[in-house]
Structure 1
Amino acid sequence: MTWGVLPPDLIALPGVYRPQADTRLLAGALDREALGPRTDVLEIGTGTGVLALRAAGRGARVTAVDVSWPAVITTRLNALRHRLPVRVLHGDFAARSAGRRYDVVVTNPPYVPAPGKRLPPGGPERSWDAGPDGRAVIDRICASAPALLSPGGVLLMVHSAMCGTETTADRLTRAGLAAEVATTASVPWGPVLRSRRDWLERQGLAAEAEEWEELVVIRAQCP
């Protein structure tokens, strides 16, 4: 399958996160990994399924999981449309992947800092809101990564530098993985960040009049 950067004709049901700059950055990192028929891939928080489909298009055996039913249905529809085999599961990633290990785990988790301590129960905000420091889901993935990865397996995770790039790398290193920043990109603030500007500045998460966000892809490898 040849898509260039991202497929132009993805289905996205209402409330499902559509591919954006972070998706494209993560897709580029995934393209640099060696995938093939014997590669087991897990995508956490699949959304439209674009990254799961990208891996399946290279022959990998792919499992995608999401807590959102609309996202699960969207990914299944996109897999059918592109005639690619993707196992799509609904539920929490830790519960649905318990006892299994993967060669590659790829994820674009919710990472936008939000005033509320509780994660949204539903709606589009569920795709990006991640608690006051933006790390509610990131930290769970960091803690779960060693149990998810096969020996030599790789985790690829994208998030905003606003959440703490060094914090993520440190947590993964303490978990026994070799972590590094694989790639970065600067993008203009989107509407969600702009709507929270005053709060972000008061929290010390953004400088006054800041207009650009740094995205990072963390690559962590199991020994």
Structure 2
Amino acid sequence: MTISYPEVRDSVYATAGVYAPQQDSQLLIEAMTRSGVVTGRRVLDLCTGSGTVAIAAAQLGASEVVAFDICEHAVACAAANASEAGVRVDAREGMWVDAFVAGPFDVIVSNPPYVPTGPDADRENIPVECGPPAAWNAGLDGREVLNPLCDSAPEMLTAGGTMLIVQSEFADTEQSLRRLRSGGLRAEVVLSQLIPFGPVMTARAKWMESIGMLPIGRREEEILVIRAEKS
């Protein structure tokens, strides 16, 4: 089943220095649409980037959408895209700790940085069109943002709340599930897609092979969406 969201695709753009919507954003929107959990609820979009997921949440009938990003350019871009799409999104500059203060929320959606990052990442030749490195770099194991996000989820969600997170298989899916479950949430993978490597993963493949993270010669990854529920 493929979800179509032409309103988002036609109205969302990424300005210079902002992460442009890609397959991971699309997969998260598809999971959000299928779940039906957004309508009439207060939604938080963490690491909003261009705002594409936040806009989709608003179009799906969320009562309120708050979107956070650490990049001021992303916040401005998300606000402009929401205005162009004719929906209300409260775009704010800040980290997950700032979102924590603004909570709790009925639904949290996030496409965080999750790409494992080697010691020579600053020497990689990645096109500027891909956006800023902060949009994907996430430490040696890809979990610099995923760990605090998963650990704080129980306190950021209202009773009966839902979290949807998209990540790569190379950022240790099982650890995300364990961390969410250790906080008392019910968590499972609800959607996945196998995609060819883009510019970032292609530039990083040799390093990943050298440490045994990537099978030699493989140039595709599974991206997936985890759904966590609070009782």
* TM interval, short-chain normalised: over 0.9
Q: Following TM superposition, where does structure 1 have runs of at least 4 consecutive aligned residues deviating by more than 6 angstroms?
A: none
- Give 1 or 2: higher helix fraction: 2
Identify the residue that residue 77 of structure 1 maps to in structure 2: 80
Aligned-residue offset at 1:34: 2.7
Instruction: Give the gaps of 5 or more residues in structure 2.
Output: 123-130
Give 5+ residue unaligned stretches, structure 1.
Answer: none
3-state DSSP class of the match of 2:176? Answer: helix
Matched, 1:62 2:65: yes
The correspondence of residues 166-205 of structure 1 with structure 2, limited to 5 A, is 166-205=174-213
Question: Would you say the 8 A contact 1:5–1:27 is kept in 2?
Answer: no
Equivalent position amino acid for 2:116 in 1: P
Displacement, 1:99?
Answer: 5.4
Alpha-carbon distance in 2 for matches of 1:134, 1:44 = 17
Q: 1:52 — aligned with what?
A: 54
Aligned pair partner of 1:140 in 145, 148, 153: 148
The alignment's TM-score, normalised by the length of structure 1, stands at 0.92
Deviations 1:16-48 (A, max 9, x none): 1111111111110010223223x0000000011
Partner residue in 2 for 1:114: 117
CA 1:52–1:89: 2 relative to 1, 3 Å: same
8 A Cα contact 2:33 2:60, kept in partner: no
Map 1:201-212 onto structure 2 (within 5 A).
Answer: 201-212=209-220
Relative to 1, partners in 2 of residues 1:131 and 1:117: Cα closer, same or farther, differing over 3 Å?
Answer: farther
Look up the equivalent residue of 2:78 and give its one-letter code: T
Residues 95/116 of structure 1: CA separation in 2 closer, same or farther (3 Å cut): farther
Q: Which amino acid aligns with 1:82?
A: A
Alpha-carbon contact 1:177-1:222 (below 8 Å) kept: yes
- Report the Cα distance in structure 2 between the residues aligned to 1:131 and 1:71, rounded to whole angstroms: 21
Percent sequence identity over aligned pairs: 37
Contact 1:44 1:66 in 2 (8 A): yes
User: In structure 2, what residue type is equivalent to 1:19?
Assistant: P
Query: Would the aligned equivalents of 2:49 and 2:78 in 1 still touch at CA under 8 Å?
Result: yes
| Deviation per residue, 1:38-88 (Å, 9 max, x gap) | x00000000110111111112211000000011000001011111211111
Given that 1:16 and 1:47 are in contact with CA atoms closer than 8 Å, whether structure 2 keeps it comes out as: yes
Alpha-carbon distance, 1:117 to partner: 10
- One-letter identity of the residue aligned with 1:77: A
Distance in 2 between the 1:24 and 1:52 partners?
12
Distance (Å, rounded) in 2 between the aligned partners of 1:181 and 1:96: 24
Instruction: Determine the C-alpha separation between the residues in 2 that align with 1:191 and 1:108.
Output: 18
The letter of the residue matching 1:147 is: E
The residue that corresponds to 1:86 in the other structure is 89
Distance verdict in 2 for CA 1:65–1:116, change over 3 Å: farther
Tell me the secondary structure at the aligned position of residue 9 of structure 2.
Answer: coil
1:101-153: CA deviation from partner (whole Å, max 9, x where unpaired): 1111000000010014999xxx7101000000000000010011011101110
Q: Which amino acid aligns with 2:85?
A: H
Q: Quote how far apart the aligned CAs of 1:90 are.
A: 0.3
Aligned counterparts of 1:144 and 1:170: Cα–Cα separation in 2:
13
Establish whether residue 10 from structure 1 lines up as the match of residue 12 from structure 2. yes
1:11 maps to a residue whose letter is Y
